[in-house]
Structure 1
Amino acid sequence: MKNLNLYKSLKLLPALLFLIGCSNNNEKEGNEFVVMSTPDMIAAQRQLRDLQLSDPHRPTYHFVNPEGRGMPFDPNGAIYWKGRYHLFYIFQDHNGHSWGHASSRDLLHWRFHPTALFPDKNDPDRGIFSGNAFITKNGEVAILYHGVKAGNCIALSSDDDLNNWTKLESNPIIPIPEEGSPEEKLYSSWDPHGWVENGDYYAIFGGKKPSLFKASTIDNWEYVGPLLASNMPDVDEAIEDLSCPDFFTLGNKHALLSISHSHGARIYLGKWENNQFHPESHQRMNWLGGTNFAPETLIDSKGRRIMWAWVLDRRERLHIQDLQEAPPYGWSGTMTVPRVLSLSSDGSLLIQPIEELKELRTNLRTVEKMTVKENISSRLEDIGGATLEIKAEIDMSMASTFGMKVLASPNGEEETIIKFNREENNITVDFSRSSLDTSIKHYQRTMNFMTSEPNPIATYQVAPFSLKKKEKLEIQIFIDKSIIEIFANGRQCVTQRVYPTRSDSQGIEVFSTGGSSYINNLKAWDMSPTNQW
């Protein structure tokens, strides 16, 4: 690979380099890379940068994988440590599944660190899957993670930048139970989440049998019992597991944030009593057709509970095993904007974008006191783009539905339709015409390996949402090339991936059905990029 002239005829050289660099060759050991000269590395890096810049769907102000494959791209180990936000994430290289690491002072601009965790030749784990970070009783940072083909494991760090990690010699702390063993009937050593409480260590082990473990020292754990005192009636236990758990206090409640692999992100609110979680409510954060997945939170110095999630990409085949297949544009892996979770005065969940995003606003355009007439779609002539924030207050008391078309081409060949229905109490994102690329397929379930049933094609996502009596609709919509996030009245958020192909698919239109709606005010900003490219 020392002579790049051999590959001048290849237009996707960076993808080729990535393919070779990610080869899962059993002869490679440790953190070894393909040997290249420094000039060759510089040339390859420049070509990779140009390739990524040519990608019309690479987000500009969302956290994305800097290069290579991120499938899965779970945010993990988020922690506020010594004045910086630290975010870890799963990615894939020649070692297999590893944890990348980035840190930030403002949640917008990120500095990438060396790879935090990877499966070394002498380690029992053969890959690094989901987990979390917490402060130990000794003041160190612990990462509790799932070690592929081993079980749940722990690594420790105490340096200011969290660059140096030492895995416990006793890993795995709990091995994967043998098939048919008594332990297998009780728990899975899978997707853990740990914390310290009243001088003891606690850990949730996820899966189909979510369980609780406890320890007095960080390397000596014992099974306590089932995590859930009961489940909620809207959970389909036949195909839904409880993975990527995140457990924390929220107001006067305890929250259990998680996924099911079939339905994506979700959250329970309830009580933590006698070493069991007693759910009182269950709320989806993703609905059939969406790909909001693998949420992770931290609490910062301001007391905010901040959440990210991986938003699956539908441009390519979903897989987590074939690590040798290079992404077409040299990268994959996108996260949501950071969101703040809190409770309202009535105990219901609030979901809001972080205030720091306001720093990215440029080129303000406004609409004041506009009547949106029934059954007429009106294009907002001065407002459009592929990297936007739109904030609006709408009186829809005389209408059944207020809607907005985004990323719309002039004649509607491509458009994504967002509808707020006051009578049916829901938000619908219709992406049936979002792209002219017929190779892109959206599916109802996020992943489908928990059932033998087929996964039907999806053309829309529907989330519950209701307005209170005389309440105005207050929306905040973030658009970033291929991701749309819709916040409504601080109580609901819907996330959708879309892939318009036309350069003129940047228009915004508004419409109303069942009567006219009235826009009290609407503001739109271009959003400054935070990613280097």
Structure 2
Amino acid sequence: MPQEKSLFISEFVAFCLTLQTLNFQAFQRSNSPSATASHYKYDPPWPLLLHRHRSFSTCSSSHRRPLCPSVRAMVVLGGRVAWACSVLLLLQLAGASHVVYETHLLEAEAAAADVPPSILDPELSTGYHFRPIKNWINDPNAPMFYKGWYHFFYQYNPKGAVWGNIVWAHSVSRDLINWVALETAIQPSIKSDKYGCWSGSATILRDGTPAIMYTGIDRGDINYEVQNIAFPKNKSDPLLREWVKPKSNPIIVPEGGINATQFRDPTTAWYADGHWRLLIGALSGASRGVAYVYRSRDFMRWTRVRKPLHSAPTGMWECPDLYPVTVDGRQNGLDTSVTSSPKVKHVLKNSLDLRRYDYYTVGTYDRKTERYVPDNPAGDEHHLRYDYGNFYASKTFYDPVKRRRILWGWANESDTAVDDVAKGWAGIQAIPRKVWLDPSGRQLMQWPVEELEALRAKKPVSLKDRVVKRGEHVEVTGLRSSQADVEVSFEVPSLEGAEALDPALANDAQKLCSLRGADVEGGVGPFGLWVLASSKLEEKTAVFFQVFKAARNINSTKPVVLMCSDPTTSSLNPNLYKPTFAGFVDTDIAKGKISLRSLIDRSVIESFGAGGRTCILSRVYPTLALGKNAHLHVFNNGKADIKVSQLTAWEMKKPALMNGA
């Protein structure tokens, strides 16, 4: 074992023992302004501390390795499992990043941890969000439509509910709602993916053949990343049940000074001028995120374009995505190969390894120079996100049947790894969303795919023209609200009482929400929904708006709308990560109207503000507000009255098929 690695093991064992003396709840600080950088079980110091030593690769902050399971548990449980962290660390460092965890050790952790009974309650298992019947999942991979079927691949651990042993699981659907799990599609089987089959994308070639490009790990001492290709064994099979890897793999390797340990996640390719093109995410130097362009005539031999498509000083760019959107406000999607024109813009998205969020810009892609220029250069500094909550490693695809672009994204758990092992599963996918460019051209709009509405119960519950006064809350009854779809339109009669926005918070919605929360009285708002609420309101998650007058240092007089998801009182279980999530809503509230849609699914709340301009997904784990004991309220904690012009709520059925779950 190298001396450096041996020294680090000693240091880390000492670190584990030191943790026994700490008060772990002080590190959660879910109401603190510092709790803004991650949706895992730790605040910013944790990933930075663990990420600082590259030899500790399998416990870094990458989305493939969120935290080694024992570290995640220790953040909440303290010294009871410090010994297990040391053991698992040794196991991980002795092997490669394609780890086979010792299940009996993890089960021992779970047995010793006094997992709350509510965590094991079936009422916390999601009803209509995508997940397999058991075990760990993370990134969505290679979604596509082929011969009448939607195909969805995803990173999956067939051996347990923690990250490791990653393969490409595969499910198919006719409607994006009902899913059938097939056999594993891609797993380590060749030299260039011996130590891992990580994320990638699908491309339908010009002759109709699907091709999957994915990142493989071919060295066990470091995460040496190369790009591989796989084709269906029988392309006449609409289910694409078997995949083969050509002997020519790997087809792209990290040459020319590229950091071989930060070079992954090939995109869907696009075709023009006789060449295919794709992007690979990378890290240049210590902190510059990069999207490299590769070109090929035959999809097998690839050459890197001299200059990157785009880069920014944001840290590693994982799971990049580049796709066209129309500028005329229509909701139609475009095939990935459509190029920029006066009627077409492009979206460049990256998943930031250091921040754990998905950011995007809208701009112009020049095919001749192979460069991308964002319309707003400041956008590179994290102004726009797909989702301001628990949402990462997203992937889009073009649906040629309904001519739409669909977005998938992964939502991890916010309990502990010990809890995950005890319950036997971890991770879900957000509801697939249709995405298109807002008529203003400044940002994307997102909305759940229309097929989801087939799960709505026939008889909704309604509330109409109800004024909600200062400090009042109104319960919405007549439905089982633990699994529901709620749409509500609010009217704000007057904005006169809105508070002035603190200039220091004008660009930090997350901090603003964490400081204020849902319970601090404001001028106009907070107003919105309490979901998954217990009968006496000991538990509740607030999804709400608050309106502010524009800050003095901003060249605008338009009122500012904050949208926030506040789960700080979502559960009586103290061993949870419960951060507030927030984003500003680019809408004209001066007209006095704003809408909210919340998809409630037992342990997930997925919300869409102002028709999908701002989206927030939260994971919550109530102990009381489970099943029939969950309640739904409209609330107003602002001084100004708020009117519910229309609220419609549907119970949601479970899909007939969900991978056997």
TM bucket normalised to smaller: 0.7 to 0.9
Counterpart in the other structure of 1:357: 452
Distance 1:343 1:266, change over 3 A: same
Alignment of 1:14-33 (within 5 A): none
Give SS of 1:66's match.
coil
Structure 1 counterpart of 2:199, from 130, 139, 147: 130
- What CA distance in whole angstroms lies between the structure 1 residues aligned with 2:562 and 2:625? 31
Residue range with higher mean Cα deviation, 166-175 or 379-388: 379-388
Decide whether the 8 Å contact of 1:253 with 1:270 is kept in 2. yes
Matched, 1:420 2:545: yes
What root-mean-square deviation, in Å, do the aligned CA atoms of Structure 1 and Structure 2 show? Answer: 2.7
TM-score normalised by length of structure 2: 0.65
- What CA distance in whole angstroms lies between the structure 2 residues aligned with 1:187 and 1:411? 51
Counterpart in the other structure of 2:114: none
The CA deviation at 1:184 is 2.1
Distance 1:163 1:211, change over 3 A: same
Decide whether the 8 Å contact of 1:228 with 1:279 is kept in 2. no
Counterpart in the other structure of 1:193: 267
2:535 counterpart letter in structure 1: P
Matched, 1:342 2:450: no
- What CA distance in whole angstroms lies between the structure 2 residues aligned with 1:55 and 1:373? 37
Alignment of 1:279-298 (within 5 A): 279-281=374-376, 282=379, 283-287=384-388, 290-298=389-397
Counterpart in the other structure of 2:472: 376
Counterpart in the other structure of 2:227: 152
Structure 2 counterpart of 1:89, from 154, 170, 176: 154
Higher strand share: 1
1:377 counterpart letter in structure 2: H
Structure 2 counterpart of 1:506, from 630, 642, 645: 630
Decide whether the 8 Å contact of 1:391 with 1:476 is kept in 2. yes
Residue range with higher mean Cα deviation, 373-382 or 108-117: 373-382
1:506 counterpart letter in structure 2: A
1:501 counterpart letter in structure 2: T
Matched, 1:69 2:136: yes
Q: List per-residue Cα deviations over 1:35-94 (Å, max 9, x = no partner).
A: xxxxxxxxxxxxxxxx99943321110101222222xx1111000111111110000135
Decide whether the 8 Å contact of 2:135 with 2:157 is kept in 1. yes
Alignment of 1:253-332 (within 5 A): 253-261=345-353, 262-273=355-366, 274-281=369-376, 282=379, 283-287=384-388, 290-300=389-399, 301-317=401-417, 327-332=421-426
Q: List per-residue Cα deviations over 1:409-440 (Å, max 9, x = no partner).
A: 12221111112112242101111111111111
1:437 counterpart letter in structure 2: N
- What CA distance in whole angstroms lies between the structure 2 residues aligned with 1:466 and 1:138? 42
Decide whether the 8 Å contact of 2:488 with 2:597 is kept in 1. yes
Q: State the identity as a percent.
A: 27
Decide whether the 8 Å contact of 1:188 with 1:210 is kept in 2. no
Q: List per-residue Cα deviations over 1:253-304 (Å, max 9, x = no partner).
A: 11123311223122221111021121224411244xx321111111111111
Distance 1:106 1:520, change over 3 A: same
Give SS of 2:460's match.
strand
Structure 2 counterpart of 1:57, from 119, 124, 127: 124
The CA deviation at 1:218 is 1.8
Give SS of 1:425's match.
strand
Distance 1:186 1:152, change over 3 A: closer
Decide whether the 8 Å contact of 1:176 with 1:188 is kept in 2. no
Decide whether the 8 Å contact of 2:585 with 2:610 is kept in 1. no
Counterpart in the other structure of 2:599: 478
Structure 1 counterpart of 2:306, from 214, 225, 242: 225
Counterpart in the other structure of 2:189: 120
Decide whether the 8 Å contact of 1:230 with 1:278 is kept in 2. no
Distance 1:206 1:79, change over 3 A: same
The CA deviation at 1:383 is 4.8
1:310 counterpart letter in structure 2: W
The CA deviation at 1:461 is 1.0
Decide whether the 8 Å contact of 2:254 with 2:260 is kept in 1. no
2:392 counterpart letter in structure 1: F
- What CA distance in whole angstroms lies between the structure 1 residues aligned with 2:275 and 2:119? 47
Give SS of 2:122's match.
coil
Give SS of 1:328's match.
helix
Counterpart in the other structure of 2:533: 408
Matched, 1:497 2:619: yes
Give SS of 1:74's match.
strand
Decide whether the 8 Å contact of 1:60 with 1:480 is kept in 2. yes
Matched, 1:175 2:253: yes
Distance 1:186 1:176, change over 3 A: closer
1:127 counterpart letter in structure 2: G
- What CA distance in whole angstroms lies between the structure 2 residues aligned with 1:376 and 1:334? 34
Structure 1 counterpart of 2:278, from 186, 203, 211: 203
- What CA distance in whole angstroms lies between the structure 2 residues aligned with 1:104 and 1:229? 35
Matched, 1:164 2:300: no
Decide whether the 8 Å contact of 1:136 with 1:196 is kept in 2. no
- What CA distance in whole angstroms lies between the structure 2 residues aligned with 1:212 and 1:316? 38
Counterpart in the other structure of 1:429: 565
Residue range with higher mean Cα deviation, 386-395 or 218-227: 218-227
- How many pairs align? 453
Give SS of 2:451's match.
helix
Higher helix share: 2
The CA deviation at 1:134 is 0.5
The CA deviation at 1:230 is 5.7
Structure 2 counterpart of 1:440, from 551, 565, 576: 576
Counterpart in the other structure of 2:583: 463
Structure 1: gaps (5+ residues): 1-22, 33-50, 232-236, 319-324, 443-458
- What CA distance in whole angstroms lies between the structure 2 residues aligned with 1:316 and 1:207? 30
- What CA distance in whole angstroms lies between the structure 2 residues aligned with 1:441 and 1:487? 22
Give SS of 1:272's match.
strand
Decide whether the 8 Å contact of 2:563 with 2:614 is kept in 1. no
Distance 1:411 1:148, change over 3 A: same
